[in-house]
Structures are given as C-alpha cells and as structure tokens.
Amino acid sequence: MAKRDYYEILGVAKNASEADLKKAFRRLAMKYHPDRNPGDKSAEDRFKEAKEAYEVLTDPQKRAAYDQFGHAGVAGAAGGGARGGASFSDIFEDIFGDIFGGGRGGGSRVYRGADLQYNLELTLEEAVFGTEVKIRVPSLVECGECHGSGAEKGTTPETCSTCGGVGQVRMQQGFFSVQQTCPRCHGTGKVITDPCHACHGQGRVEEHKTLSVKVPPGVDSGDRIRLSGEGEAGLNGGPPGDLYVQVHVKPHKLFTRKGNDLLCEVPISFTTAALGGELEIPTLDGRVNLKIPEETQSGRLFRLRGKGVKSVHGGAQGDMICRVSVETPVNLTRRQKELLRELDETMKAGGSRHSPQEEGWLDGVKGFFEDLKFWNR
C-alpha cells in the first residue's frame, strides 16, 4: 500500500518550521501513543506513522531528499532515529520533557494544560433529540505576544544559574544528599529576566472563547461531552488540556425520565375511572389517545411502547409509562351532592362489591383486631 505524504500525516504545510513539526508531532503522540491506547493496533500504527514522518522532516538532509524525490529519496532511512541517530526515547524526551514523569533535565520542562469543566443545562427535549449550543468559556490561552515563553518580545529566558538549567539542586544533609526542586526557577531550568508585558511572564493570558457544542440525542444528567484540546494552554509549549461539558437536564413539567423510560402522571375524573373513556396524552413525538377501561383504580399504570428515549449509550428505545390518578370531585353543587348520596345508597343496598380495595382493607382490619384479642387473653 502506498505511503501517505509525511506533511499530510503531521497536518502541516511544506514550509513548516521545526517548531511547527514538533508541535504537530506532540499533538499526535498525545493522541495515539500506545501507553494511552493499550491494545489498539490502529492507534499504534498511527503513532509509528507520525514518528517516521517527524524523524525524516526534522533531519535537514532527509527532508531535502524527501522534498525532491519523495519516499524514494529516504527509502530505508526512516525509522533509524533522527538528528544524527538519536533514539526515539531521545526524541520523546526532547519533545515532552517531564510531561510523563521526567526527562533528562537541562532545559525547560513542558506541562500539559489543565482540563476544564463546563456545566451545561438542557431541557428534556434538547437532551432527547440532541441540539447544538454555543458556550462561552473562560480559559488560559497561550500569550500572543511571547508565544508562551513568558519573555518580552526580542528576549529569551536565560538558563538558571542556581541549578545550571537542570531544574533540580542537590542539598547535603549530613551523610545524605537530597535532590529537590530548584527554588529559583521552580524546576523549569530557565529564568525570565525581562517578563512579557502582556502576560507578566506567565506565558498565558485569560480569555473568553465561544465554542459550539454538538449534543448527541439521548444524553442524560451526568453524561460528559469531551472537547479535545479546548482546555487551558500548556506551559513551555506543552499541549492544551481538554474541556469536559457536564450535562444537567432541567426538570420537566410533565415528564420524569427514568433510564430510557418517561414517566407521566395522568389525572382522570371519577366518572372516567368508573365508566371508562379515552384521553388525549402528550408525548415527545406528539399526541396519542389512551383508552381507559371501566373500573380503573387510582395508581394503575399504562405503558406506551416506544414512546420513551433512545439512549446515547445504545439499547432499545424506552417506553412512556402513564400512572393514572383518580381525582375526587370538588366544588359540588347541592344537586350533585344529592346524586352522589343516592348513588352511595344504591351501591350499599345492592349487595354487590363495588369497592373491592376498601372491603379488602376492612377485612384485614377486622382480622387484625381479632388476632390482637387472642394474644391479649
């Protein structure tokens, strides 16, 4: 299979500087390094591909040959190290410094930027169907004046005279020699004598940025959306952190979500519960008719298949569960009260069991007191 263009692999222009190449490779290495993608053969291949491109393009002679003859000009040369035979571990430490737990010392350490979190409130409809929202996030970004160095334009940080640029100093305490972070440069190995006027030597400034967040259908409270590289800028050229958008779904006036199901409380009249009827029920897809059979008791559940939520995590679409609640009539007229009394008298006189739950409860009460008398003898 034909090899991909090295510039295309790193995502840089053909006139990219060595700093641009380093930045591009750092980004790809952070994403595809085998330590961050254990068992992922595809990620390992992408990492090896990026490493090969970086090794060739950062070697002036190999790059010139590649620019003139393509892959044929560097056949057999790639993969053997860069900059005069340096091993990949040398390249890795040169690029990342102490970002993964310590380099060889000598030179400024680079640090990955901090991750940020943004709390995003959504309506139930937005969470179920998905949406796209704009958010405004405060963040520390690379200073445009000094490009992250912290030094005033035209100057560069100087090697720390206390630690010699190592970032560590050795202290003798009796028979023991203790190594600790340099108190002058705080482990960076560099000292800024002329700080940048824009960032005051920090290398980063606070800005607000507006981002577009695509919310997939089916998210729920507690889900997070990761925006890679949208966190705080790194220090000394380190990679930026990520932004995590934390989803919070606001309460709905009609529905309560439980997993993939939607729960809905439906009040019905005494007459509808006794004689049956048909109600128009709202769903997130529109309106549907719910048939209420006669003699329906308060608390009965009705399930509407497929009227729930399709979760972003997969699985079958949920249902809508309607719980009916029989309302006691209020504001009755004198005539209406008389009719209810007549109805009550006819039901008592008929001998039929018109209130099975009430009669069953009364039977239980009677049995309870009989048992109580037996144990109190």
What lies within 8 Å, CB to CB, of 343 at 6+ separation is none
CA 10 to chain centre: 27
Binding-site positions for Zn(2+) read 143, 146, 160, 163, 182, 185, 196, 199
CB 89 within 8 A of CB 104: no
CB 10 within 8 A of CB 24: yes
Based on its alpha-carbon atoms, the radius of gyration of the chain, rounded to whole angstroms, reads 36
Q: How far apart are the first and last CA of the chain?
A: 96
Whole-Å CA distances, 41 to 47, 48, 322: 10, 11, 49
From the list 185, 108, 197, 205, the residue with the least C-alpha distance to 153 is 197
CB 244 within 8 A of CB 117: yes
What lies within 8 Å, CB to CB, of 354 at 6+ separation is 347
Break the chain down into helix, strand, coil percent, rounded to 5: 30, 25, 45
Strand pairing class (320-326; 261-268): parallel
CA 17 to chain centre: 34
**Rounded-to-integer distance, Cα 244 and Cα 4, Å:** 33
Tell me which residue has tokens 């290398």. Answer: 203
CB 274 within 8 A of CB 293: no
Which letter does DSSP use for residue 151 in this model? Answer: B
The four Cα atoms 145, 192, 95, 182 give a dihedral, to 10 degrees, of -150
CB 194 within 8 A of CB 106: no
Q: Which amino acid is at 141?
A: V
Binding-site positions read 143, 146, 160, 163, 182, 185, 196, 199
Which letter does DSSP use for residue 273 in this model? Answer: H
